[in-house]
């Protein structure tokens, strides 16, 4: 009996739910080298959520580039992912039709350094519709950075419909 209770406690203590927090950029155009500061935007959009109690798993960037020569990478703490190409072309660049955008999944380059910056580095002429940030509750590490007593809260209501469950292709590699 005690082993069953202990097993249940361990299983529930290690299970983590993933949530998606959305940042709408409303077809904003970025030129040259630009940094999207995700953590600051999430703190602004979700003021009742302690972002420091979350770990970033990855992002889904909904974007396109003017000449198909745009690049994006995810920076988490001191680590940066490989650059991924942002496709597109001049024919549909000025259209705000969602079908002209590409969904690009970029996984976190670091699972141990979520307490640092969360940023997307853009290079090129890129139009961004939305960024979906996939997060999970941080693992409690006694005395670890950013952890106080108690259980971290779930993301609260934010822009649009609030946090959702991960869509197709999510969650990715751990």
Domain-located, residue 163: no
Answer whether 56's CB lies under 8 Å from 40's CB.
no
Q: Which helix (H) or strand (E) holds 40?
A: helix 38-45
Looking at the 3D structure of the chain, how many domains does it have? 1
Give the closest residue to 87 by CA, choosing from 107, 72, 97: 72
Domain-located, residue 72: yes
Give the closest residue to 64 by CA, choosing from 22, 33, 37, 104: 104
What SS3 string covers 86-134?
ECCCCCCCCCCCHHHCEEEEEECCCCCCCCCCEEEEEECCEEEEEEEEE
Domain-located, residue 157: no
Mean pLDDT across the stretch 161-169? 43
CA dihedral (34, 35, 38, 39) positive or negative = negative
- HSE (side-chain half, CA atoms, 13 Å) at 28: 11
pTM exceeding the 0.75 threshold for the entire prediction: no
Domain-located, residue 90: yes
pLDDT in tens, 6-49: 333 333 344 567 899 999 999 999 999 999 999 999 999 999 99
Mean pLDDT across the stretch 117-135? 97
Domain-located, residue 41: yes
For residue 122, what are the domain limits? Answer: 16-137
Domain-located, residue 25: yes
Domain-located, residue 145: no
Domain-located, residue 93: yes
pLDDT averaged over every residue in the chain: 79
pLDDT band, residue 148 (cuts 50/70/90) = very low
Query: What CATH number has the domain bearing residue 63?
Result: 2.60.120
């Amino acid at each position: 009996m005690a082993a069953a209770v202990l097993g249940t406690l361990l299983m529930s203590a290690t299970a983590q739910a993933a949530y998606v927090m959305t940042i709408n950029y409303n077809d904003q155009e970025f030129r040259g080298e630009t940094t999207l500061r995700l953590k600051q935007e999430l703190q602004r959009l979700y003021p009742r959520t302690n972002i420091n109690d979350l770990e970033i798993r990855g992002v889904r960037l909904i974007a396109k580039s003017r000449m198909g020569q745009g690049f994006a990478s995810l920076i988490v703490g001191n680590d940066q992912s490989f650059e991924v190409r942002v496709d597109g072309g001049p024919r549909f660049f000025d259209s705000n039709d969602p079908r002209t955008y590409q969904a690009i999944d970029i996984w976190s380059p670091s699972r141990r350094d979520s307490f640092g910056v969360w940023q997307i580095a853009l290079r090129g002429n890129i139009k961004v519709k939305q960024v979906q940030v996939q997060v999970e509750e941080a693992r409690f590490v006694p005395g670890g950075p950013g952890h106080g007593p108690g259980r971290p809260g779930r993301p609260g209501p934010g822009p649009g419909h609030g946090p959702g469950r991960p869509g197709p292709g999510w969650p990715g590699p751990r």
